[in-house]
Amino acid sequence: MIVEQNTLDGKLKPILKASGGLWGGNRVNEEFCSFISKAIGQDIFNTFVRENICDFLYLNGQFEIKKRLATKHSTDKIILQLPVTLSETFTEKSGTILAKTIKNTIYSKDIDVNRGKIELSADKMRSFFTRTVQGIVDHVRMIMSKPECKDIKHILMVGGFSESPLVVEEIRAQFPTKTIINPTDSGLSVLKGGVLFGFDTKVVTARGCPLTYGISLYDSFDKTKHDMSKSVMLGKERVVLGCFEKIFMIDEIVDVGTKRSINVYESYKGQPESLRKKSKEIEIFSSTEPNPRYVTELSCSRHGRIIVPPPNGRWPDKVKGRIEFEFGQTELIVRYIDRVTEYVVTGNVDFHASENELNLLSSSVRKSQ
């Protein structure tokens, strides 16, 4: 779920970043499978799924279609074709007939097996939706309670689950003062929106930052603000490694095109020639926390890097640069800019974990004083 503001010029500006939980159609399918498993026995159901996966998928596919027919006040039974292999598996495992056994269980009022069909009561079908729909309602209420969302007037329902009349009816009932918009073919609305965005990317003016982004710095050790365990001796100086220098913060609403930078410094004076000719790797880090201190914290991970080759094949004695982050339409763009020569190297943050072992000294840069 995301809260968007329709601006006066017809563009979209996010108020809250996307959020949500496991409240989609698959969760309803899981409730159905759980019920069938309880009705016939967990071991029997697991054997059926394992040995007859095609029939299980067919049964699940039937339910996927029929669940879209359920409404808040419907009374008709939901009828599914019973896979023959399910009956055979039940008989092999239990020595009894599935149809007769179901009639003598506590589930008989909710399910019946008759002439190769599974019949589910309307009430039981609605019960499969209960926890999922309640999760959606609770989350929408939580969003509505935020001060920045007090002016919400419309709720737009899109995606495959929004094609369910039961879901739409419940949202209308729970939020009677809001205008509920449920477009035709709502399952295709997300795809259509993506296509339209491809033709006009400027329609979105800002983005909610999904993570906290920054780089790894090293600096002179200060016992009043640094952990001794994070420090090492570098020549005659004690330095602290892996300081997380924050550029963008999680949940921050950032205008598209926003640029932020940090000045960095490196000294190659007295360094061997091989090091002067070696490219510098600048690691990009992210965190699920708003204010991480070190890149080695559990909330942090590596998402990409910029490899900066030395200008003219060799680093000078003193390197003064600037690392610039630009918040793009669909990506985070990172540049290294030499402040003396204006030499620029651009890279995009790749959202995957690095396979190489992290070397804090080689992947960190020194913050310019």
**Span 53-104, pLDDT tens digits:** 999 999 999 999 999 888 988 899 999 999 999 999 999 999 999 989 999 8
Claim to verify: residue 90 and residue 218 sit in the same structural domain: no
| Within-domain flag for 85 | yes
DSSP label at 114? E
| Within-domain flag for 227 | yes
Residue 353 pLDDT level (bands cut at 50, 70, 90): very low
| Within-domain flag for 345 | yes
| Within-domain flag for 223 | yes
> Residue 338: what residue type?
D
State yes or no: pLDDT of 238 exceeds 90: no
| Within-domain flag for 141 | no
Task: Give the Cα separation of 323 and 213 in Å (integer).
Answer: 13
Q: What integer is the mean pLDDT of 126-144?
A: 94
Claim to verify: residue 120 and residue 212 sit in the same structural domain: no
Claim to verify: residue 109 and residue 235 sit in the same structural domain: no
State yes or no: pLDDT of 237 exceeds 60: yes
Listed range (189-193, 245-249, 321-325) with the worst mean pLDDT: 321-325
Claim to verify: residue 214 and residue 361 sit in the same structural domain: yes
pLDDT of 242 reads 86
State yes or no: pLDDT of 347 exceeds 70: no
Q: What integer is the mean pLDDT of 99-111?
A: 90
Claim to verify: residue 216 and residue 357 sit in the same structural domain: yes
Asked if 227 contacts 241 with a C-beta cutoff of 8 angstroms, the reply is no
Claim to verify: residue 273 and residue 362 sit in the same structural domain: yes
| Within-domain flag for 347 | yes
| Within-domain flag for 295 | yes
Claim to verify: residue 220 and residue 363 sit in the same structural domain: yes
pLDDT of 365 reads 75
Number of domains in the chain: 2
pLDDT of 61 reads 93
Claim to verify: residue 239 and residue 330 sit in the same structural domain: yes
Last residue of a domain, one of 94, 127, 160: 127
Last residue of a domain, one of 78, 106, 127: 127
Q: How do residues 179-188 score in pLDDT, each as one tens digit?
A: 999 998 888 8
Last residue of a domain, one of 77, 102, 127: 127
Claim to verify: residue 89 and residue 217 sit in the same structural domain: no
State yes or no: pLDDT of 348 exceeds 60: no
Claim to verify: residue 319 and residue 230 sit in the same structural domain: yes
Helix 84-94 to helix 53-66 angle (10° resolution) is 120
Claim to verify: residue 217 and residue 120 sit in the same structural domain: no
Claim to verify: residue 113 and residue 223 sit in the same structural domain: no
Asked if 50 contacts 85 with a C-beta cutoff of 8 angstroms, the reply is no
State yes or no: pLDDT of 223 exceeds 50: yes
Range of the domain at 253: 208-367
pLDDT of 356 reads 62
Residue 257 pLDDT level (bands cut at 50, 70, 90): confident
Task: Give the Cα separation of 182 and 156 in Å (integer).
Answer: 6
CATH at 244: 2.60.34.10
State yes or no: pLDDT of 368 exceeds 80: no
Structure tokens at 188: 């295709």
